[in-house]
Amino acid sequence: MMKRAAAVLLAAAMAVSLTACGSLTDGKRIIRISHAQSETHPEHLGLLAFKEYVEERLGDKYEVQIFPNEILGSAQKAIELTQTGAIDFVVAGTANLETFADVYEIFSMPYLFDSEDVYKTVMEDSDYMEQVYESTDEAGFRV
């Protein structure tokens, strides 16, 4: 259930960002997504579901390309590729973001949250999280 919820949230977050990403080829925007997992990992399966969702509904406008297994480089390198516009999305842990914005160090602190409910409360606080997400704007990408 959690894997499915994570995949749906990932798909929704990416769908919101579709209007300003990708490169044009034959009138279609190509959306390139990099991640470190194998083709059998739930993360990749969620991205395949996202690809299918987008291409079924917007196939005349968008093509989604997924690069698993760190094909395009480590998570750190993939984040750097988003800065240059070579790829549009990377699925990476918050520890990889610490070099771009110090605020992400908070997510590496052990026992920061007393429970899963407390964690969800913080993550669902849109005002707080918007500040966290905006912290990488100067680095040239948006979380």
Parse the chain into domains and list their residue ranges.
2-139
Grade residue 5 by pLDDT with cuts at 50, 70 and 90: very low
Give the fold, CATH level 3, of 2-139: D-Maltodextrin-Binding Protein; domain 2 (3.40.190)
| In the predicted structure, residue 26 carries a pLDDT above the cut 90 | no
| In the predicted structure, residue 33 carries a pLDDT above the cut 80 | yes
* pTM for this entry: 0.74
Please say whether the beta carbons of 53 and 66 come within 8 A. no
For residue 107, what are the CA distances in angstroms to 98, 99, 116? 9, 13, 13
User: Higher pLDDT residue, 25 or 101?
Assistant: 101
Name the nearest CA neighbour of 139 among 111, 108, 97.
Answer: 97
- By percentage, how much of the chain surpasses pLDDT 90? 64
Please say whether the beta carbons of 43 and 51 come within 8 A. no
Which of 12-16, 21-25, 87-91 bottoms out in mean pLDDT, i.e. has the lowest? Answer: 12-16
The two tokens of residue 14 are: 């990416």
